[in-house]
Amino acid sequence: MTDAVFDLPVRPADIEAAARTLAAYVVRTPLLSSPTLDADLGARVLFKPEVLQRTGSFKFRGAFNKTSAIPAAARAGGVVAFSSGNHAQGVAAAARLLDMPAVIVMPSDAPCSKRQRTESYGAKVVLYDRDREDREAIARAIAAGRGATLVPPYDDPAIIAGQGTVGLEIAEQMQARGLSPDVVVAPASGGGLVAGIATAIRSRFPDASIMSAEPEGFDDHARSLRAGRREPHRAEGRTICDALMASIPGELTFAINQRLLAGGVTVSDAEVGQAVGFAFRELKLVVEPGGAVGLAALLAGRFEVRGKTIVIVLSGGNVDADMFAHLIA
Amino acid sequence: MTDAVFDLPVRPADIEAAARTLAAYVVRTPLLSSPTLDADLGARVLFKPEVLQRTGSFKFRGAFNKTSAIPAAARAGGVVAFSSGNHAQGVAAAARLLDMPAVIVMPSDAPCSKRQRTESYGAKVVLYDRDREDREAIARAIAAGRGATLVPPYDDPAIIAGQGTVGLEIAEQMQARGLSPDVVVAPASGGGLVAGIATAIRSRFPDASIMSAEPEGFDDHARSLRAGRREPHRAEGRTICDALMASIPGELTFAINQRLLAGGVTVSDAEVGQAVGFAFRELKLVVEPGGAVGLAALLAGRFEVRGKTIVIVLSGGNVDADMFAHLIA
């Protein structure tokens, strides 16, 4: 299994190259711990707070890695992306740093803060109706009209390699402390983050168990990992985890995750709300619902923790003040 | 001025000793940055988030350093402290780690979260009326009755040395990155934190300007530094900065601060509220009002920042959910 990571669509060397591309722009987020939580659980829990990342989520990493690879001749056309919010901000911020125009296609029900923040980076936002319109078709039409490059949210080797730098940092930070992760849990929507993390971590810690975390109902990764093939989720409603509503794992991401992941855990919206409140009270971190699913799974006892070293990725912190106030009340 | 720090009541070597005492118990909080803020200000701003510290504030450092120095023969009597909240939690957590009983004398209007958290560490809480009763007299009576050791909030060399480990970490973290601080701003109530920080930082960076930050009205440090002698503040009302209501600088702390501080800045409660909201939206950190006065002074333009390297100490994050919801709305 040690060699498994070396013949996949994204290799550890690609992630190391992404880390070099990102070095001057990314926030190297720390590994944080809570001695009180560790004592309560009888475990060593390390948090990777990508809420502290530029734009408030890990998405900047993949977006910058992909955007910076656009050839000079194609840069004037700028970039286009479709996103419920965090990828939008990542692409907008990357484009501004690289002095390129950006158009973002965003659902009309995305959190207000995510839309405002996307516009604050200088991007043009085009809204669509999540239930009636095809965001990919809209984005492709805009890209064709402007000569722009589409920056996909997850199913792309450069995106996965960029998100994988989260895992590379975790691995380096663990090695610097003489620690080995037993379990690493990361949120999954399209699966790019957890695929990149799994590739980076298992190249250095082949025995680590990497797990995806999803909201109940929106459990396409858990289902697909069990079935051994890509399966859509069956949810018809909404979840408070607006960042984790992709309907099916990506093709590339699932090719990786199927090989490297130990499985998927799911949590209810109520458990996610409790995790957001715990992060407020005990960790003093602002974590958005979709960024808190791994923490929710930890607190809800979804996997064995006693005596283990566990890494929980807190993937984003872009949450509206009213939603946050509601969840911490 | 380089030698000024070496003939004061707390010496750099005392802080280094405190760091060794604390090493296995304290969270070595990271230095965080916001690339967006740096670009907006044309400065390099580093945040020292003691909100991530054990008990949610820097107070654990001094409390543990002081409590761990109690001789074995006196440990059975336990400890007593009076505090509006953060020192209470620090003392309670330190006592539990050292297996000693703790009684905390706390104002009846302290934030609910601070009281509950103090009790959660196993301490007994005794409430008093802030306007009518003398907390020190109550604490001394309890100490005499139980044979307990009083752990003072700031005017004590072991407390100041413990808080100084915040400054020692900042100095080490800056040196590791090849940076020098031009300005360091820390909140002041009794002045122990800023005194310890000034001692640690100016022993390694003699040209750094260290400043206290206080709420308007509760500006006893700013007044005293200007006057050259300890002066009480003149505030009659309240501030949302419940952690920063001490009426006059400590004797020991002022002896240090008078020698080492460049001055004091003050901010309005409205500016503090904006800083708490900024930390929520942009830094994704939960900072209590009293912990945000340095950030408020930065955002309000109270001192020159352009081209400078600035360290802002975010000293605590223990804020009730309803107050936090109000401030971020």
What is the SS3 assignment for A47?
Answer: strand
- The reported pLDDT for the residue numbered A3 is 60
Please check the confidence at residue A238 and state whether its pLDDT lies above 80.
yes
Listed by number, the residues of chain A in 9-28 with a beta carbon closer than 8 Å to a beta carbon of chain B are 25, 27
Same domain, A167 and A132: no
Same domain, A252 and A130: no
What is the SS3 assignment for A162?
Answer: helix
Length of chain B: 329
- Reported as a pLDDT band with limits 50, 70 and 90, residue B168 is very high
Same domain, B66 and B187: no
Q: What is the ipTM of this complex?
A: 0.95
Same domain, B86 and B176: no
Domain containing A121 equals: 59-150
Q: Give yes or no for a contact between A82 and A104, defined as CB atoms under 8 angstroms apart.
A: yes
The DSSP H or E segment spanning A37 is: helix A35-41
- Mean pLDDT, range A257-265, rounded to an integer: 98
Number of domains chain A contains:
2
- The reported pLDDT for the residue numbered B3 is 60
- The reported pLDDT for the residue numbered A85 is 85
CB atoms inside a 10 Å sphere around CB B108: 11
Q: Which of A117, A150, A183 is at the close of a domain?
A: A150
Same domain, A248 and A283: yes
Please check the confidence at residue A198 and state whether its pLDDT lies above 90.
yes
CB-CB: which of B281, B284, B325 is closest to A52?
Answer: B284
Q: What is the pLDDT of residues B145-163, one digit of tens each?
A: 999 999 999 999 999 999 9
Computed over every residue of chain B, the mean pLDDT equals 95
Same domain, B65 and B180: no
Q: Which of B150, B170, B201 is at the close of a domain?
A: B150
**pLDDT above 90 covers what percent of chain A?**
88
Please check the confidence at residue B183 and state whether its pLDDT lies above 80.
yes
Same domain, B145 and B285: no
Query: Global pTM?
Result: 0.95
Q: Is the minimum CB–CB distance between B247 and chain A shorter than 8 Å?
A: no
Closest CA to A112 of A200, A199, A242, A9: A242
Q: Which of B128, B150, B172 is at the close of a domain?
A: B150
Closest CA to B103 of B117, B123, B121, B76: B123
DSSP state of A156: S
Please check the confidence at residue A1 and state whether its pLDDT lies above 50.
no
Q: For residues B50 and B315, give the distance between their C-alpha atoms in angstroms, rounded to a whole number.
A: 5
Q: For residues B252 and A273, give the distance between their C-alpha atoms in angstroms, rounded to a whole number.
A: 46
- The reported pLDDT for the residue numbered A4 is 65
Same domain, A291 and A164: yes
- Chain A partners within 8 Å of B32 (Cβ): 27, 30, 52
Please check the confidence at residue A25 and state whether its pLDDT lies above 80.
yes
- The reported pLDDT for the residue numbered B6 is 67
For residue B277, give the chain A residue with the closest CA.
A321
Closest CA to A278 of A255, A299, A257: A299
Residue with the larger pLDDT of the pair A123 and A235: A123
- The reported pLDDT for the residue numbered B1 is 47
- Chain B partners within 8 Å of A169 (Cβ): none
Q: For residues B288 and B283, give the distance between their C-alpha atoms in angstroms, rounded to a whole number.
A: 13
- Mean pLDDT, range B6-30, rounded to an integer: 94
What is the SS3 assignment for B42?
Answer: coil
Same domain, A166 and A279: yes
Q: Give yes or no for a contact between A82 and A139, defined as CB atoms under 8 angstroms apart.
A: yes
Q: What is the pLDDT of residues B51-78, one digit of tens each?
A: 999 999 999 999 999 999 999 999 999 9
Q: What is the pLDDT of residues B31-58, one digit of tens each?
A: 999 999 999 999 999 999 999 999 999 9
Same domain, B45 and B190: yes
CATH of the domain at A63: 3.40.50.1100
- The reported pLDDT for the residue numbered A240 is 94
Please check the confidence at residue A246 and state whether its pLDDT lies above 90.
no
For residue A47, give the chain B residue with the closest CA.
B52
- The reported pLDDT for the residue numbered B28 is 95
Q: Give yes or no for a contact between B328 and B279, defined as CB atoms under 8 angstroms apart.
A: no
CA terminus-to-terminus distance, chain A: 46
With 0-12 / 13-18 / 19 or more C-beta atoms within 10 angstroms meaning exposed / middle / buried, residue A258 is middle
- Mean pLDDT, range A194-207, rounded to an integer: 98
Q: What is the pLDDT of residues B184-204, one digit of tens each?
A: 999 999 999 999 999 999 999
- Reported as a pLDDT band with limits 50, 70 and 90, residue B4 is low
Q: Is the minimum CB–CB distance between B94 and chain A shorter than 8 Å?
A: no
For residue B287, give the chain A residue with the closest CA.
A284
- Chain A partners within 8 Å of B27 (Cβ): 32-33, 35
- Mean pLDDT, range B108-112, rounded to an integer: 85
Beta carbons within 8 Å of A307's beta carbon, 6+ residues apart: A42, A43
With 0-12 / 13-18 / 19 or more C-beta atoms within 10 angstroms meaning exposed / middle / buried, residue A73 is exposed
- The reported pLDDT for the residue numbered A173 is 97
- The reported pLDDT for the residue numbered A20 is 98
